[in-house]
Chains A and B, each alone.
Chain A
């Protein structure tokens, strides 16, 4: 070793300057300094953390949870049903028409005076002697269910169509996207109204089947949503897939022989999940809007089934005397749509990588 002359500019450590006892194994305490104390974060966890830091999003989650709990629990507590015409002691209560909130009709008052108990009419009653609170609750149920299932239908169709078109590319993509362009340029609301009018007349189901219980008006509502609203989702997912497709891990998966279906399901869709969640969250309020609009012009869900839109429409009749009948469903729609909008915005801020700073 001594034969080699050390280059004066070399930075190599001269070992002769160190003695052996300077090299002792690290203690446990010292080793622990290398440990990663904080948990490793994933994209999802990071997004959730961001979401829960957003006070508006948290507030709207709380409001939505409260509404959902109410519409689940209230029908169990309130002894009336949404189509039940009120009766006292088995006799029809004709005086229970258009009662103000928390009041009783004469017959009910007599019944209570005699020692009977009567559940209060929290929102009063409507013009057909039905408890209004439970009708609003059921209306909320139906509006939320329509919004949710319509979005799910839109999501499924849009996802299938968009991912096939985006993944295959080429001429297939061109033709599929021209179809989307044409559907996209149709005025959706007019076509929805038109189809709804016709389907309500045409659809007939075998009595007793599941679809029959759901009612023609409800089924036709889902059909028109499914026919028209998927195009936006399909475009979005196709765009996402076109960018994701270029990544190396897709090439790797393809080179080891993964089939297209597997690549789409395993590699591509999870990567555009955030975009899917955000646009679904924003689809729900718009579906609720559309349903209430249709109910309002008289082609939504069929009576006696209430929806928030048809309740608001019915309230126009006695607007001067009973304004509260409009106020309750109106507040409910606004609360639901507002909190869903804010939640959607919050989700977008938290999960959209393009907005990250």
Chain B
């Protein structure tokens, strides 16, 4: 186990390093320096700025300097408004984290409930309804669902207020963000629940006269949850990218919408910093899920 953990952690660190390298060097392949403005600056000013930000040094040294900054939590300044990027991330990430975590929790809880219900009532009406909706929602892109929800509940019916920083309403963004993972987890937990119910230990428990309630919650559900854990890692990646469009649509001022506006403004330092930040987050989430998976299921071998 120890060896496995060390191996996975090393792979994760390598991945993060590769991401940083890709991000840095691709961003430096973009034509035009950071000081290209509509109003042309004088040669001397640009040279002074380049020296000030270390841009006259060789690329490799710049990369090392940048990495040193990143490790100290210094991502440089935004090209558009000159603010510290770490401050931008610091103020917008909590909003995104709250949104993403609520969506994840909703998706996991509702997904397993729906999936298990469908498995327990196989081929009955609830099962059919759940299968129908979970198939449907895996085919609806999150941005379309979000725009439709906004159109129907905020604009046409007026039941819910449009998001504003003073009066944040997380309900619709969370629904829009969790719909796809929820549908996927529903399908996944249905198959794993059916699988668990067919196992020998369930039959043994039933033969011994254990109540149906206890069989489902103590024996079947716990084992059927294991595959869901492996899927939670990739789902976090989905939620992070999904939150970009959801936040843009609902005008939630989180990190995702900052990233999208950074892309549209060609704010390269912001794009670079956000990519690295989100990538580290995803790699870490995947790592934790993998380790957790090995931890909860002793049947899995460490290779």
Contact = CB atoms under 8 A, between A and B. Distances in A.
Given A187-B282, A293-B241, A342-B135, A333 B263 contact: no
Given A190-B275, A191-B19, A342-B135, A323 B151 contact: yes
Contact of A194 (B23, B141, B150, B240): B23
B151 A334 contact: no
Interface string B22-38: 11001101110000000
Interface string A179-215: 0011001111111011101100110000000000000
B147 A202 contact: no
Interface residues of B, number: 44
A273 B275 CA distance: 37
Nearest to A185: B15
Given A202-B31, A299-B263, A191 B148 contact: no
Given A185-B15, A189-B237, A341 B31 contact: no
Contacts, number: 115
B263 A197 contact: yes
A292 interface: yes
Given A194-B22, A334-B144, A187 B139 contact: no
Interface residue tally on A, bucketed by range: 35 or more
Contact of A193 (B138, B139, B147, B275): B275
B147 A312 contact: yes
B155 A320 contact: yes
Contacts of B144: 312, 326, 330, 333-334
Interface in B208-265: 237, 240-241, 244-245, 248-249, 260, 263-264
Contacts of B136: 334, 338
Interface string B11-49: 110110011001100110111000000000000000000
A172 interface: no
A330 B144 CA distance: 6
Contact of A326 (B151, B237, B266): B151
A21 to B, nearest CB: 62
Interface of A: 181-182, 185-191, 193-195, 197-198, 201-202, 285, 289, 292-293, 296-299, 309, 312-313, 315-316, 319-320, 323, 326, 330, 333-334, 337-338, 341-342
Interface of B: 11-12, 14-15, 18-19, 22-23, 26-27, 29-31, 135-136, 138-141, 143-144, 147-148, 150-151, 155, 237, 240-241, 244-245, 248-249, 260, 263-264, 266, 271, 275, 278-279, 282-283, 286
